[in-house]
Amino acid sequence: MRKLVVFNLLTLDGFLCRKNGDISWHNVDLEFQEMTIETSHSGNTLLFGRITYELMANYWTSPEALESDPIVAEGMNSADKIVFSKSMRKAEWVNTRLINTDLLGEVIKLKHLSGKDLVILGSGEIVSQLTAANLIDEYKIMLNPVIIGEGKTMFETVRNKQLLKLLHTRTFANGNILLTYVPL
C-alpha cells in the first residue's frame, strides 16, 4: 500500500500561507535546494488542489525556474501529478491527471494501487480534509523561523484531536527545522 505524505512549509505561528496565498516568507536557501534536488526525482506521485497546482504549474514551467533551478524544474515537470478540482475542466501541465470527483474515495483507491508514495505539496484544503478522514500517513513539516500574524492553516476543517509521533528532526543552518510525524 502506498503512503500518503504531506510536505509543507509552515510559519512558527502555524500558517501555510497568508490569506491572499502569499508565500514570500518561505525561508529557502542552498541547503533547502539540495534537499529538494535529492527528492525531486523520487518517482513519487504529487497531489495538488487547484490553487497550488496553478501556482506550481505556472512557476515550474517558466523560463525563470528552468534557468535558476533546472534540476528541480525537470523533476517537477516530469513527475506524475494529480490535481483535485471541481472547477477545472482540464489540466495542461505535462503528466497531470485531473480528478474532479470524490476526493476521499479517489485517495483511498490511489493508496491501494502499487507504486511509490503519494505526496501532497501545499494544498491546505486537501490536507485538512484528508487529515480529518485519517488518511495521511506522514507529515513532513518544514518549520520556518518567521511569524506572519495571520493566514491559512493546513487544518482549517479538522475538528477532532489528532495525536502524532515525532519520527525525525533535521535542523537547517538558516533556522528551518524539518519535523517528520506519523499519526498514532
Q: What is the pLDDT of residue 174?
A: 95
β-pairing verdict for 177-183 and 138-144: antiparallel
Helix-strand-coil percent breakdown of the chain, rounded to 5? 30, 25, 45
b/e map 51-76, b = 16+ CB within 10 Å: bbbbbbbeebeeeebeeebeebbebb
- Where in the chain are the domains? 14-20+28-173
Looking at the domain that runs over 14-20+28-173, which CATH code has it been given? Answer: 3.40.430.10
Name the DSSP class of 159.
Answer: -
Contact 27/161 with Cβ under 8 angstroms? no
Q: What pLDDT is recorded for position 8?
A: 96
Give pTM, 2 decimals: 0.93
Bridge-based pairing of strands 96-99 and 4-11 is unpaired
pLDDT tens series, the chain, 184 aa: 999 999 999 999 999 999 988 999 998 888 988 888 777 767 899 999 999 999 999 999 999 999 988 988 999 999 999 999 999 999 999 999 999 989 999 999 999 999 999 999 999 999 999 999 999 999 999 999 999 999 999 998 899 999 999 999 999 999 999 999 999 9
How does strand 138-144 pair with strand 96-99?
unpaired
